[in-house]
Every structure is written in structure tokens, then in C-alpha cells.
Amino acid sequence: MQEITFNLNGEEVTVEVEPKDTLLRVLREKLFLTGTKMGCEESECGACTVILDSRPVNSCTVPAAKVHGKTVVTIEGISKNGELDPLQEAFIEAGAVQCGFCTPGVILSAKAILDRCENPDEEQIRDELSGHLCRCTGYLQFYDAIRIAVKKLQEQKTEK
């Protein structure tokens, strides 16, 4: 066993991990954050996507010990004070939430691109979401939701 400490959703956490533990398993089984979904466990479906040091990663293949001293954001960490993130609101508005299995990972990949680029073009969005498999929405709603979120975020900026 090894003790690791990292920033999780804005708070420092310490947890004991075994060498075989992945970040996904630690999040779900030791920290009880079940918004991060367990899909293929081979970095193929994107259901387990989290943001690690500002970049989306498939947590199913990240050794838990590698996050020591780093920052991890899960779907549970993007809403603030009980308020949904504008991106989450946009996904609801666009009907981009069907079964909900892939949605957390898609939202986190979208958040990562919006944090890097205020107004991503269609190609950037498609590229960012290319690692996600969804069998419900057909992807168009994801793109619509991201465009809605861009508008919402721009409006918030002008209000300030």
C-alpha cells in the first residue's frame, strides 16, 4: 500500500492505494465518486474521463499512484454551491443527456476544451470528443450543447 495526496475537486485528499489501482477504481471504490463511469477499462470509450492537471484523461488506465501531487476534477466537481455549471445546463437544454452513462466524460472533455479555448470551432470540438462512444444521442446534441455553453459563458463574461 502507498499513500497518495492530491487535489480532488478543489480539496486535498489522501488515500491509500495499491500498485494495481487505477484512478477510476480509487474514485469509485475508495472515494465513492460514482459519476465517473466504468466502461471498457481500455481507454476506448471515454466513459471514465476526468480532468487531470487541466487535460482530459481516461482514468481507467491512469495508475492511481501517478496522481500524487496533481489536480483531478470529476463531474461532481464542476458544479459550484449547488448550481450546475453552464456546460451542464447546456447539455440538459440541448437534450444531450440520454442514458447518462457517457455524459459525465463528454462534459468533462468539453469543459477541458472550453477552459483552453473560449470559442472552439466545430473541428476542435469533434476532435476533443473523438474518444467518446455514445449509443444514445448520435453526438449532434453534444455539439449543440457545447455551442449553447459557449454562448452562456460569453454572456456571463459581458455581464461582469
Question: What confidence category does residue 120 fall into, taking pLDDT thresholds of 50, 70 and 90?
Answer: very high
Q: Which residues contact 53 (CB under 8 A, 6 or more apart)?
A: 70, 71
Q: In the chain, pLDDT over 90 holds for what percent of residues?
A: 85
What is the side-by-side strand order in the sheet with 2-8? Answer: 11-17, 2-8, 71-73, 49-52, 55-58
pTM (2 decimals)? 0.93
**CA–CA gap between residue 39 and residue 135 (Å, rounded):** 13
Between 100 and 20, residue with greater pLDDT: 20
Do 145 and 121 share a structural domain? yes
Do 117 and 57 share a structural domain? no
Do 69 and 104 share a structural domain? no
Strands 55-58 and 49-52: antiparallel
CATH code, domain carrying 106 = 1.10.150.120
Reply yes or no on whether the pLDDT at 62 is more than 90: yes
Cα 89 to the center of its chain, rounded Å: 15
Reply yes or no on whether the pLDDT at 77 is more than 90: yes
| 13-52 pLDDT, tens digit each | 999 999 999 999 999 999 999 999 999 999 999 999 999 9
Number of folded domains that form the chain: 2
Helical (H) or strand (E) element with 94: none
Domain boundary among 77, 103, 128: 77
Kindly report the average pLDDT of the chain as a whole number. 94
pLDDT of residue 157: 82
Domain containing 135 equals: 86-159
Do 64 and 28 share a structural domain? yes
Q: What is the DSSP letter of 14?
A: E
Contact yes or no for 101/47 (Cβ under 8 A): yes
Do 73 and 117 share a structural domain? no
Domain boundary among 37, 53, 77: 77
Domain boundary among 30, 49, 77: 77
Reply yes or no on whether the pLDDT at 137 is more than 80: no
**CA–CA gap between residue 129 and residue 16 (Å, rounded):** 32
